[in-house]
């Protein structure tokens, strides 16, 4: 059996690395499983100028390099591994790697990120690496003094198009909207409009990519007139949004119909002990800073989960003596009264019966596990086994009677 981590993080982009920083700094035994070098999509971004504290001139690889070192400095292990399957139910989560190795952890943070969306245009797939690209920093070099086309008009498309003008002779951006309308931020739009190397084709979409071995031309379709026109070009860069890398999570955690992981504010997924962070999650803004924020929240929530689980195990499941677990909440007068009734009874038992109080406002997970829908409720344990329960309001005699009948030595 392989060693058991406290926390395994799937994905080494900003979400995973930030979770690594917070996890290992809280002394959790933490590892990140990451395909190759960490950094995620941010590591393929040339200029990254909106991460607070890192101003103009910062590059994606640079910032991600800092984050990876930061996580490692607190003890996070970064392992090169592609996760191909996982078993997330149960106390110990099992992750299977492409290398054949199996990893185990008490809590898991899913930060698999997203990848560029493909439009499945005719020729798009066949010419990948032959002129069709989704990564400006990877391939810009090839297009020095050549003409290229960019598809898309969001932040990524316009910013990467500007980077490409440092290499290419012309960059033609194909925009689906009316002239002058872009989805990107205003600052980038203004700079792009002023760039003499950028040409614009409005009201249009890419229809087909043609060539012989390498890209030679594209067919552009005007969506207003339906007219098709052919344009000579050497390359086509797509920046038309992303899709989450959640294929292997189908049926394991709850996803939206588009494949994004559903979480609450604590980054909890539908599976206890499994959290999600970053671009693969349902969220409003997908940026390095929000990914890092998700990672921090997920790691802190996971740490709390581990502490609660360990605590419950130690105080209740591993205890030999008879004990009662009472579920209460500070907002419920009835439950507070219930707790004092129990405390009074336990006081008369001279330590033979113990009492464990669980605040359901702070710890809903244990309550859910025992189907506690009403407070106060009391569970009766001995030798770690659940023997009986009382749901709802009780009086002193109910408890005294139960103790006498349920417990063998009280």
Task: Compute how many residues bind other proteins; rule: CB under 8 A.
Answer: 32
Q: Which of 3, 141, 178, 409 binds other proteins (CB under 8 A)?
A: 141
**Helices 14-25 & 288-312, crossing angle to 10 degrees?**
40
- Contact pattern for other proteins over residues 145 through 184, marking x by CB under 8 A: ----------------------------------------
Strand partners, 110: 10, 276
Nearer to other proteins, 131 or 338 (CB): 131
Q: Does 131 bind other proteins (CB under 8 A)?
A: yes
- In angstroms, how far is the first alpha carbon of the chain from the final one? 41
Nearer to other proteins, 7 or 78 (CB): 78
Nearer to other proteins, 9 or 132 (CB): 132
Q: Which of 52, 53, 213, 351 binds other proteins (CB under 8 A)?
A: 213
Residue pair 13/114 in contact by the 8 Å Cβ criterion: no
Q: Does 266 bind other proteins (CB under 8 A)?
A: no
Q: Does 133 bind other proteins (CB under 8 A)?
A: yes
- The two structure tokens encoding residue 281: 């999650």
Would you call 138 exposed, middle or buried from its count of C-beta atoms within 10 A (0-12, 13-18, 19+)?
exposed
Which range in 125-133, 279-287, 288-296, 320-328 contacts other proteins by CB under 8 A?
A: 125-133
Can you list the positions of beta strands (E) in 18-76? 30-34
Run of H or E including 210:
strand 204-212
Nearest-approach distance from CB 247 to other proteins, in angstroms: 12
Query: Residues with catalytic annotation?
Result: 135, 138-139
Interaction residues for other proteins, span 214-233 (CB under 8 A): 214-215
Nearer to other proteins, 99 or 383 (CB): 99
Interaction residues for other proteins, span 291-350 (CB under 8 A): none
Nearest-approach distance from CB 370 to other proteins, in angstroms: 43
Helical segments of 269-395, H only: 288-312, 333-348, 364-369
**Helices 186-193 & 155-164, crossing angle to 10 degrees?**
30
CB within 8 Å of 254: residues ≥ 6 apart: 261, 262, 269, 270
Residue pair 256/272 in contact by the 8 Å Cβ criterion: no
Nearer to other proteins, 96 or 221 (CB): 96
Which range in 128-136, 188-196, 291-299, 400-408 contacts other proteins by CB under 8 A?
A: 128-136
- Contact pattern for other proteins over residues 65 through 94, marking x by CB under 8 A: ---------------x-x------------
Nearest-approach distance from CB 193 to other proteins, in angstroms: 27
Nearer to other proteins, 99 or 232 (CB): 99
Interaction residues for other proteins, span 39-58 (CB under 8 A): 39, 43-44
Whether omega before 322 lies within 30 degrees of 0, making that bond cis, reads: no
CA 401 – CA 403 distance, rounded (Å): 5
- The two structure tokens encoding residue 161: 């198009």
For residue 26, give the 3-state DSSP assignment: coil
Residue with tokens 């003094």: 145
**Residues of the shown chain interacting with other proteins in the complex, contacts defined by CB under 8 A:** 35-37, 39, 43-44, 60-61, 80, 82, 98-99, 128-135, 137-142, 144, 213-215, 234-235
């Amino acid at each position: 059996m392989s060693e058991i981590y406290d926390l395994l993080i799937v994905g080494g982009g900003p979400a995973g690395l930030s979770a690594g920083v917070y996890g290992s700094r809280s002394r959790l035994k933490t590892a990140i499983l990451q395909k190759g070098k960490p950094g995620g999509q941010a590591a393929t971004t040339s200029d990254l100028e909106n991460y607070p504290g890192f101003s103009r001139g910062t590059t994606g690889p640079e910032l991600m390099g800092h984050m990876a070192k930061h996580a490692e400095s607190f003890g996070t292990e970064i392992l090169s591994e592609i996760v191909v399957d996982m078993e997330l139910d149960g106390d110990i989560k099992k992750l299977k790697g492409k290398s054949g190795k199996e990893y185990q952890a008490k809590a898991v943070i899913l930060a698999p990120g997203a990848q560029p969306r493909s439009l499945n245009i005719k020729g798009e797939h066949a010419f990948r690496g032959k002129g069709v690209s989704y990564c400006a920093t990877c391939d810009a070099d090839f297009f020095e003094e050549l003409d290229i086309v960019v598809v898309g008009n969001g932040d990524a498309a316009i910013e990467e198009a500007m980077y490409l003008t440092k290499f290419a002779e012309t960059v033609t951006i194909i925009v689906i909207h009316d002239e002058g309308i872009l989805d990107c931020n205003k600052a980038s739009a203004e700079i792009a409009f002023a760039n003499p190397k950028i040409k614009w084709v409005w009201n249009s979409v890419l229809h087909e990519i043609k060539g012989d071995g390498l890209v030679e031309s594209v067919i552009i379709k005007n969506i207003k007139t339906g007219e098709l026109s052919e344009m000579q070009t050497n390359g086509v860069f797509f920046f038309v949004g992303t899709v989450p890398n959640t294929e292997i999570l189908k049926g394991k955690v709850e996803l939206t119909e588009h494949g994004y992981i559903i979480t609450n504010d604590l980054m909890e997924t539908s599976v206890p002990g499994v959290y999600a962070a970053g671009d693969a999650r349902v969220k409003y803004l997908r940026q390095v800073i929000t990914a890092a924020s998700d990672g921090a929240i997920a790691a802190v929530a996971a740490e709390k989960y581990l502490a609660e689980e360990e605590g419950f195990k130690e105080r209740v499941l591993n205890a030999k003596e008879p004990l009662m677990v009472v579920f209460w909440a500070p907002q419920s007068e009835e439950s507070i009264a219930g707790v004092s009734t129990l405390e009074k009874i336990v006081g008369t038992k001279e330590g033979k019966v113990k009492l464990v109080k669980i605040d359901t406002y702070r710890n809903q997970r244990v309550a859910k596990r025992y189907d506690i829908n009403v407070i106060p409720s009391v569970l009766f344990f001995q030798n770690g086994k659940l023997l009986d329960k009382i749901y709802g309001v009780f009086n002193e005699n109910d408890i005294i009677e139960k103790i006498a009948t349920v417990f063998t030595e009280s």
